[in-house]
Structures are given as structure tokens and as C-alpha cells.
Homo-oligomer: A and B are copies of this chain.
Amino acid sequence: MESTPVTPAEQLLTHDTVDRCARADPEHPRPDGQDRYTISEVAAHTGLSAHTLRWYERIGLMPHVDRSHTGQRRFTNRDLDWLSLVGKLRLTGMPVADMVRYADLVRQGEHTFEERQALLEQTRRDVLGRIAELQGTLAVLNYKIDFYAGARRASERA
């Protein structure tokens, strides 16, 4: 991960500081400047369907995406960074409505830092709770798997 001093790549992310963290593992297909991806390229890169990418834009989960002269979407490296963050938030189980809220806050600028932080802190609490839940289920799964394994070994010996 990164500390406060920023790498040259990160400094290009002028849209909002919020985008930076996605640069933890950038690995963009093309260098900044030649970064104009079609929707199917982005779909392949992110694993999301083109449908889903269009839908994300419709519901306000993507900042409005550049268009070619004929109106086709052209995604940038920054869009990829944003989608990477969205992917992480999606993995947390955060509802799409909350991600949209977060996107709104980002659009509104730096005076929303506090609310953004609160939103992410709530999400972190949710994640920690979910991990604890899952670890509780592991205890049961382990117990029952052991039971079945033991019962099957016993019946083979019989």
C-alpha cells in the first residue's frame, strides 16, 4: 500500500483524491494518454458485463464517461481505477445504493470527506462483523465435516 507521498502515476489522478487507492495495483492495459478503452475492453478487463457497465453509468455509479465522435463510450485509466474501487466495495457487500451515495459524495468534492469517511467506517464495521459470522459458520462446518469423515471411516472398518 501507499503512504501520503504519491507516485507520478498517482498524481495524474486529478479528478479526486478518492481515486488514488485503486492505484495500489494499477497495471493498466495502456499508458495514460493512450487510454481510451471500448466498453468490451473494459468488460474483459473488469469481469463486469457491458450491460452492467452501462447500467452503472445510468444509475450514477460511474462518473459520466467520455464518448467518441459517434457517441460510443471511451473509458480511461481513471475509469478503470474507479471501477476497481467499486469492485472492492461490491465485494464488501455494500448495497449499490450506498455506492451511488459514495459516488455522489465524490462528485461533490472535498467538503464531503467526513461523510465519506463515515460511510467507509460503517462498511468496515459491517465487513468485520461479516468475517466474524463466517468464522462462526466455519466452526459448525468443521464440526460436521469431521463427523461425516469419522462416520465414514468407521463404516469402512466395519
Determine whether the beta carbon of A3 is less than 8 Å from that of B85.
no
- Interface status of A149 (Cβ within 8 A of chain B): yes
Task: Check: A21 CB closer than 8 A to any chain B CB.
Answer: yes
Given A17-B151, A148-B113, A152-B114, residue A1 in contact with residue B134 (CB < 8 A): no
Cross-chain contact B92 with A152 (CB below 8 angstroms)? no
Query: A91–B137 contact, CB under 8 A?
Result: yes
How far apart are A131's CB and chain B's nearest CB, in angstroms? 5
Q: A127 is contacted by which of B110, B137, B151 (Cβ under 8 Å)?
A: B137
Determine the residue in chain B with the shortest Cβ distance to A148. Answer: B117
Number of copies of this chain that the complex holds: 2
Residue of B nearest to A4 (CB): B150
- In the complex formed, the residue of B with least CB distance to A127 is B134
Q: List 30 A-B contacts (CB under 8 A).
A: A1-B143, A4-B151, A4-B154, A17-B147, A18-B144, A20-B147, A21-B140, A24-B139, A85-B140, A88-B136, A88-B137, A91-B133, A91-B134, A91-B137, A110-B151, A113-B148, A113-B155, A116-B148, A117-B145, A117-B149, A117-B152, A120-B141, A120-B145, A121-B145, A124-B138, A124-B145, A127-B137, A131-B131, A131-B135, A134-B134
Q: List which A83-125 residues lie within 8 A (CB) of chain B.
A: 85, 88-89, 91-92, 110, 113-114, 116-117, 120-121, 123-124
Residues of A within 8 A of B (CB): 1-4, 17-18, 20-21, 24, 85, 88-89, 91-92, 110, 113-114, 116-117, 120-121, 123-124, 127-128, 130-131, 133-145, 147-152, 154-155
